[in-house]
Structure 1
Amino acid sequence: MESDRNPTDEGWFYAPAPPDMRTYRELGNFTVDGETFAVRRSDGDGSTHYDWISGPNDGYGFSTFGSPEPLSHEQRLASIRDFLAGIDPATGYLYDP
Structure 2
Amino acid sequence: MEDLKFEQKRTLSRAEAAALVKALATALEGGEKVELELGPGVLTMQVPDTVRSEVEVEVEDGEIELEIELSWATASARATASQPEPSEPSEPDE
Please say whether Structure 1 and Structure 2 have the same fold, judged by a TM-score greater than 0.5: no
Relative contact order (C-alpha < 8 Å, sep 6+): which is higher? 1
Greater C-alpha radius of gyration: 2
Report the structure, 1 or 2, having the larger strand content: 2
